[in-house]
Chain A
């Protein structure tokens, strides 16, 4: 398999002891991977190392194609005077001449991307006025305009109502059908079953593989420690919820 995303023996941190270590996995075109783990377990650090924002302390982290990073919208971006279309158009920076205004082709591409994520009607709406789910979809539209083959999504469904979350999950399926690779970090153990692969991390890689092999009691307990609530623990197939601690950094 030609891996588009690959880590081998990766260790990374911010100076001092590594936050994550012994991470080794690979994902090819069209594969969807969910990254599970407790807060502070290193999910964001992994993404940063993949994006090249921090240097690996050991091993390698590689992205072999155009990548889009979709993170949580913070307060400043909600105040910024941009419409949904403007945000989607930012994807065009990845190709073309950044010092000129966007071309007509770029605009068509952005409009088409918004259409594809179901937000054609909201193109002129200010980004900060959209709902959480709509904002995520706009950022995905930006990734489409970028024509990213790899998407790293940092907890895209947090704070999104269940109905919208369904729509976004369906969108993920479509993107993977395009042949794009998705890495999605998440707190939701149940919905992790829909992905092709699960990467369980708690500062180190606990497991990587199909949901049937990784969403087992043993693996989940190793990953979440005491932060897990088991609902139905018959045999190896558990149903569980992860207890979330909210960061209060704004």
Chain B
């Protein structure tokens, strides 16, 4: 019994542990809620590309002593611009153009990090370290999570209308261009917050795992978002505890906890109503 008690209290004893727990709760909640839209709008590949490509921004921030979130944001903007430019030539498809831009940015980030004169924090930037989050970082993450959450709450009806029926959304008065831009901005914000704790290679898990865990069980849009936020936060906390208990890398532990949540959610038996939907044969063709 004492063992359980000390296990539960362990991370809470130090400010490092407390910061880490708050950090993963914030990033888990925001990314978990937003993730529903990332999957619904088919943005998984885009999110992954932005996350991988932002590395030079992270390294630059580390070199300058600037906040990582700022570096991440600069990296995302640069990557998005490069992808858009690379895709302009019609001969090369958008998927290939994205690969070229991301490959270049990843290589550049590595060059910046490993050229001898600079500090070598590369592994931490790639794979994250929630235990290295400062009070200032935490405040920034909290502010962004609050703002992002509020924006998500406000945008949920237009987002749902557009995702459900893109052809009719315009006639419903939804400003489709503005909604898509809003979603892209929210995605950038969520990636920045997630990168702080998980690094740029593992951040995607926070966006993708919760919606995959929840999709067969959610009955409403609000439920999918709240469920995603809950799964994200709980998985994050579980990851920190695993990290403390087994003495393994914290960022990776959180990422694996998120993946495990997705697997459990995907394999758990769905409620009767949702199951009926899956068994029904495909609707008759036109």
Contacts and interface: CB of A to CB of B under 8 A. Distances in A.
Assess A/B contact in the complex (Cβ within 8 A).
yes
Interface string B144-159: 0000000000110110
Contacts of A94: 171-173
A78 interface: yes
B167 A82 contact: no
Interface stretch (A22-30, A62-70, A221-229): A62-70
A137 to B, nearest CB: 15
Interface size class of A (residues with CB under 8 A): 35 or more
Nearest to A95: B173
Contacts, number: 100
A129 interface: yes
Nearest to A250: B285
B220 A80 contact: no
Given A82-B220, A94-B172, A126-B273, A77 B165 contact: yes
Interface string A77-105: 11011110011001101110011111000
B36 to A, nearest CB: 9
Contact of A81 (B158, B219, B276, B285): B219
Contacts of B224: 81
Interface in B119-167: 154-155, 157-158, 160-161, 163-165, 167
Interface in B183-229: 215, 218-221, 223-224
Contacts of B274: 126
B284 interface: yes
A82 B155 CA distance: 16
A81 B220 contact: yes
B220 A146 contact: no
Contacts of A76: 40, 163-164
Given A83-B220, A126-B219, A159-B283, A51 B154 contact: no
Nearest to A50: B171
B185 to A, nearest CB: 16
Given A82-B160, A129-B277, A93 B220 contact: no
Contacts of B155: 99
Contact of B167 (A71, A98, A101, A128): A71
Nearest to B167: A71
Contacts of A132: 283-284
Interface in A138-165: 139, 142, 146, 148, 155, 158-159
B284 A159 contact: yes
A95 B283 CA distance: 32
Interface string B242-286: 000000000000000000000000000000011011001001111
B170 interface: yes
A87 B169 CA distance: 12
Given A51-B171, A52-B170, A82 B164 contact: yes
A185 to B, nearest CB: 12
Contacts of A142: 168
A128 B171 contact: no
B225 to A, nearest CB: 10
Contact of B283 (A78, A98, A102): A78
A88 to B, nearest CB: 12
B273 to A, nearest CB: 7
A69 B161 contact: no
Interface string A34-59: 00000000000000000111000000
A83 to B, nearest CB: 7
A146 B169 CA distance: 12
Given A73-B283, A78-B283, A80-B164, A53 B154 contact: no
Contact of B164 (A68, A90, A95, A247): A90
Contact of A71 (B158, B165, B174): B165
B279 to A, nearest CB: 10
B212 to A, nearest CB: 13
Contact of B221 (A72, A81, A95, A155): A81
B285 A246 contact: yes
A81 B170 contact: no
Contacts of B221: 80-82, 86
A93 B172 CA distance: 6
Contacts of A87: 164
A81 B218 contact: yes
A78 B281 CA distance: 12
Nearest to A87: B164
13 contacts: A52-B170, A80-B163, A80-B164, A80-B221, A81-B220, A86-B160, A93-B161, A93-B172, A93-B173, A95-B173, A98-B157, A139-B165, A159-B283
Interface of B: 40, 154-155, 157-158, 160-161, 163-165, 167-168, 170-174, 215, 218-221, 223-224, 273-274, 276-277, 280, 283-286
Given A73-B165, A80-B221, A90-B172, 6 more contacts: A71-B168, A80-B160, A87-B164, A93-B174, A99-B155, A155-B286
